Every structure is written in C-alpha cells, then in structure tokens.
Amino acid sequence: MSVLTNKNVLVVGEENSLFTKLTQVFEEYGMVIHNSTCDLVTSVILEEKSIDIVLINYLNHGPACKELLNTLRSVDTTKTLPIFALVEENEDKIQEVFSYGVADYITDDEEVDSVLQKIKTVFGNTNDVYGSVSIDITPLQPITSATGIKVYIVEDDPLLRNLLSVRLDRSSFPYEFSNDGQNAVPAMKQFMPDVIILDLMLPGKSGLEVLAEIKADEKIKNTPVIVFSNRDGQEERRKAKELGANGFYVKAMTDLSELIETIESLAK
C-alpha cells in the first residue's frame, strides 16, 4: 500500500494536460478525487470531504483563486493541509504562491513522477523512496524545550523550506530558518535549538564552514547537527564527520519522516 492510498485530493481550477495525467495516476494509487472551482471551495467542504491535499491550477487564475489561497492559509482545520499550486515557471509567480503558504509549486511541463515524489514527501512516504545511509549518530542529550523540539534549519532552497515547514508544523516542532551561511550561527545562538539541520551548498558561507563555526562556539557546540544536502561525495561525508556532524542525509534519497525520526532520536 502506498502512502497515497485512500487520501482525499481536491483538484481546483481549470483542467489541463498535467492535471489529467495526475488524476489518472491518483486513481491508480487509490486516491479519492474531488473536483471544484476556486469560488466554490470552503472550509466546510474541506472538513466534510476530509481533504488531505489540494492541487490548484494557478495558471490563468482570477481573483477567486487568489482569495482561495489567502483563505486556505488561515483556515482552521483539524490537520495540516498541504497545497500544491500549478504556476508558470516565473520567479514572481512562484514567490507569489509561496507567500500564500503553499507546500510547493509545480509547472505544466513537469514530469508526473516528479510531482508524485513531492506529494509523497509531504505525507512522510516510507514505502516508495529509498532512505539514505547516514553516518553514525551519537545521541548527545540536549535539553529539549517544553514546547517541543526546537529545530534550526540552514537551507536556501525555498521549495525544501516549505516542505520542511509543513512536516515540522505537523510534528509541533518550533523552528527557524536561515537562507544563507553568513548569518546562520548568530541567529542559532539567539534561537538556541535542540537540533540543527544544515545544507552544504549555501550562499555566503559553505555548510562545512558553518559546521566548523558551530563546533567552535561554546554556546552551541554540543547541539546535534544533521547535514541534509544534495552533495553525496565521500569527501563531503568524511569532512562532515570529522567536523562533528551527527548525521548525513542526501535530499533526493530521504523522505522527511525519516528526518523527523532522526531529529527525535537526537533530541532525547
């Protein structure tokens, strides 16, 4: 059984070729498909139909679709509701939908498998992707916040930041982001996280430089660090381990539920 089986998906807006292909694949996975238009979607419909995910066609959108995204951002449902928006491959349009809190965007020429992988990741897929091999994890014993495990993420990819936000919200983990390496450590010291997630390829300062800075700082040197990167060379793994990383995961090979489990393990 797939992580998508029996999920209720709401497909909103005009039909197009990508949505048609996705609908066919969703049915093969055993998903329950509901169709609507931007002006007809309400919080009552979301609750009554137990909607698990929303796909919205934002290509030739009108005011109703903008209003819908704005409404979905603040709607009070019993569960986190990931939203995927179909947009033009245009930076302004992409940033616009992210400003409304979507989990991710998709484009008209995107492969169906790519879209499915994004959706599976949000649902914490454990059956359909391969987990990464991490280096040994040494449970350090940080003091966990009474309000949940505090996580600081250094990541410049807006897509991944949104996916991580959804998963961390679902886990009730307080979190903050840095989108570059230059100012990450001072911000960490203000936030005082229980666990740090660190990309290696960053503007301003590399992840390995940030890791060395963390381990040299008396205030945060004992905070567990998980490297989460697209780089998978043995040299990067070796350097990260030497500098004191507690885990090394490759983005393309890791589902986010595995990352959440590691965060929980390190924060015990």
Banded pLDDT at 125 (limits 50, 70, 90): low
- Share of residues in the chain with pLDDT > 90 (%): 45
pLDDT of 234 reads 83
pLDDT over 80 (residue 139): no
Q: For position 169, what pLDDT does the model report? A: 86
Token pair listed for 19: 């949505």
Using one digit for the tens of pLDDT, what is the confidence trace for 65-77?
Answer: 988 988 887 665 5
Q: Which tens digit of pLDDT belongs to each residue from 204-245?
A: 899 999 999 999 999 999 999 999 987 777 888 899 999 999
Instruction: With beta carbons less than 8 A apart as the criterion, state whether 267 and 195 touch.
Output: yes
| pLDDT, the chain, mean | 84
pLDDT by residue (tens digit) across 158-184? 778 888 888 888 888 999 999 899 999
Q: What is the pLDDT of residue 75?
A: 66
Tell me the C-alpha distance between 214 and 194, whole Å. 13
For the segment 81-97, what is each residue's pLDDT rounded down to a tens digit? Answer: 888 999 998 878 887 88
Please give the pLDDT value at position 129.
32
Mean pLDDT value of segment 28-48? 92
pLDDT at position 155 over 50:
yes
Q: With 0-12 CB in 10 A as exposed, 13-18 as middle and 19+ as buried, what is 1?
A: exposed
Domains of the chain by range and CATH? 8-122 (3.40.50.2300), 151-266 (3.40.50.2300)
For residue 142, pLDDT beyond 50: no
**In terms of pLDDT, which residue wins out, 244 or 147?**
244
Q: What is the pTM of this model?
A: 0.53
CB 188 within 8 A of CB 215: no
| Secondary structure (DSSP) of the chain | --TTTT-EEEEES---HHHHHHHHHHHHTT-EEEEE-GGG--HHHHHHTT--EEEEE-TT--HHHHHHHHHHHH---SS---EEEE--S-HHHHHHHHHTT-SEEE-TT--HHHHHHHHHHHTT-SSSSPPPPPPPP--------TTS--EEEE---HHHHHHHHHHHHHTT--EEEESSSTTHHHHHHHH--SEEEE-SS-SSS-HHHHHHHHHT-TTTTTS-EEEEES---HHHHHHHHHHT-SEEEEGGG--HHHHHHHHHHHT-
- CB distance 137 to 245 below 8 Å: no
- Residue 137 pLDDT class (50, 70, 90 cuts): very low
- First-to-last alpha carbon distance for the chain, in angstroms, is 31
